[in-house]
Amino acid sequence: MAAQIKFGTSGWRAVVAEDFTFANVRRAVTGIARYVISNKSSGARVIVGRDPRFLGETFCAIAAEVLAGHGITPLVIADAAPTPAIAYAVIHEQADGAINFTASHNPPEYNGIKFSTPDGAPALPDVTQRIEAEIVAFDQAAQNAPRADEKAAASQFLDPRGPYLARLREAVDLKVIQKAGLRVAFDPLWGAARDYPDVLLRELGVEVSTVHDYRDVLFGGHAPEPDGHLLEELRGKMRETRSHIGISTDGDADRFGIIDQDGTFFQPNYIIALLFDYLVETRGWKNGVAKSVATTNMVNALARQHGIELHETPVGFKYIGELIKQDKIVIGGEESAGLSIRHHVPEKDGILAGLLCCEMVARRGTPMGQQLKKLFVEVGSFYPMRENFHLTREVKEKFTGKLQLEPQEFFGRRVSDVVRTDGLKLVFDDGSWVCYRLSGTEPVVRVYSEAASEPELQKLSAAAKQWIFE
């Protein structure tokens, strides 16, 4: 019996040669093709792209063949391309969607399929459920061979680079970076962002130094995740070149990692808050801000300070993407290093995030650490943390029941608000909070905590863990 293919928060991901096989890729793409032609029976065009992972070119060829067999014209991107560039290509080309072979920041043994709808946004749950149903219908069909050859559409080729870079030139004030004489270090982590932000900056004569600027399908032997502990070589390049800022992206360039001038890794929560404040200051936009329920409440405080409407969404950038499409927000971000801004793609863009940080440091003339201290003075201090805890079956069953409770008190803290936007979030009288989210794919609970000081955060983290296992 064929394995079930489920599209999660960021598409379908699996281990290559285990579940991510040629046969299952054909099934998944067939489901997408059937969904597309159910909405547009003729003349449909779907972009096919990939990150630099193992066998990416082969998977793209399979997808093009399946789409063509359903009468859909595949627009194939020959080279690895960033997820935000593929998203922008959907809009620019007025395509009927995009199939992107990527497992983002997952370890190298994984690959995945992400489907974008005609608006360039990640497919919402109602779309992925329809695709899953089409896969099941295809599996159950007595005759599930490809369509007749006479209906096959010829593949076309597409290069998304030029239009996407042109869009970035509109979104970022690159001249400010140039005038400031900023020195930048860049780490694409062997991924799809190679020759994107560095090329833009070098065009203007900005000094950019790179590390890991070549294809490695093993990503150096670890997940291509732009987290502090994986960016030591970027720090080394910064010291060597006396760079003012280090920027990094994950395997498909939808997530960002930022290193300050002194080598400090800036967690994404702070980057989102800083850029929100900066965009309001420099663009004059005041139409709203969005963050996932698990993202720092520093954004809430800044929204109050600027008199801007706050939208708190479930985890998953597709919900923020909807607000960008409706032009309801200045910026939207998640603590897991995803953000986008007004008038840009309704998709995470790690390249944009890095370039905006360069612009912010250049215009303000101070390192991000000093900028954050200034915000702490203005709106209060915020210290966020995320932890994962593995659960036994027994503990998970007990804890799942616990998540239905509405406690009035939590280890001496009075609960002032219970939020169920996604999981269970308990907000306390002093503004600190804890949020629990069960993983849908593994026996893990994700715990997000935030307090006004590091000692208080450690106490809250310990209490949050105790509540799981007591």
CATH assignment of the domain containing 448: 3.30.310.50
Average pLDDT of the residues in 234-239:
98
Give residue-wise pLDDT tens across range 424-469: 999 999 999 999 999 877 899 999 999 999 999 999 999 999 999 9
Buried b (16+ CB within 10 A) or exposed e, 193-216: bbebbbebbeeeebebbbbbeeee
Domain boundary (138, 159, 180) is at 159
Distances (CA, A) of 243 to 51, 234, 363: 28, 10, 16
| pLDDT of amino acid 440 | 74
Residues 269 and 411 in one domain: no
pLDDT of 144 reads 56
Q: How far apart are CA 104 and CA 448, in angstroms?
A: 22
If asked whether residues 354 and 392 sit together in one domain, one would say no
Specify if 4 maps to a domain: no
Does 3 map to a domain? no
Residue 5 lies in a domain: no
177 and 311 belong to one structural domain = yes
Same-domain status, 152 and 175: no
Q: Is the pLDDT score of 183 beyond 70?
A: yes
Q: What average pLDDT does the structure give for the chain?
A: 96
Q: What are phi and psi of 211, to 5 degrees?
A: -130, 155
Per-residue pLDDT reduced to its tens digit, 315-366:
999 999 999 999 999 999 999 999 999 999 999 999 999 999 999 999 999 9
Sorting pLDDT into bands at 50, 70 and 90, what band is 141? confident
CA pair distance 80, 78, nearest whole angstrom: 7
Classify residue 1: in a domain, yes or no: no
Tally of structural domains, the chain = 3
Same domain, 38 and 150: yes
Model confidence pLDDT, tens digit, residues 31-72:
999 999 999 989 999 999 999 999 999 999 999 999 999 999
- Judging by beta carbons within 10 Å of its beta carbon (0-12, 13-18, 19+), is residue 181 exposed, middle or buried? exposed
Clarify whether residues 228 and 336 are in a common domain.
yes
Reply yes or no on whether the pLDDT at 145 is more than 80: no
Does 329 or 140 have the greater pLDDT score? Answer: 329
Tell which residue, 205, 165, 166, has the closest CA to residue 184: 205
pLDDT band for position 244 (cuts 50, 70, 90): very high
Whole-Å CA distances, 45 to 89, 298, 307, 315, 396 = 12, 42, 43, 30, 44
300 & 257 share domain: yes
- Decide if 385 contacts 457 (C-beta within 8 A): yes
User: What does the pLDDT read at residue 148?
Assistant: 46
**343 & 204 share domain:** yes
Q: Which among 450, 445, 440 has a CA at the least distance from the CA of 468?
A: 445
Domain containing residue 435: 383-469
Q: How far apart are CA 359 and CA 53, in angstroms?
A: 31
Segment 355-407, tens digit of pLDDT: 999 999 999 999 999 999 999 999 999 999 999 999 999 999 999 999 999 99
Q: What is the pLDDT of residue 190?
A: 98
Using CA atoms, how far apart are residues 245 and 182, in angstroms rounded to an integer? Answer: 8
Helix, strand and coil content of the chain, in percent to the nearest 5, comes to 40, 25, 35
Query: Does 254 share its domain with 155?
Result: no
Q: Which of 116, 138, 159 is the last residue of a domain?
A: 159
Q: What is the DSSP letter of 224?
A: -
Q: Are residues 341 and 411 in the same domain?
A: no
Residue 339 belongs to what H/E stretch?
A: strand 338-341
> Which pLDDT score, from 0 to 100, does residue 156 have?
96
**Residue 224 CB partners (closer than 8 Å, separation 6+):** 105, 108, 189, 190, 191, 250, 251
Looking up residue 329, the CATH number of its domain turns out to be 3.40.120.10
pTM for this entry: 0.96
Which residue among 133, 159, 185 closes a domain? Answer: 159
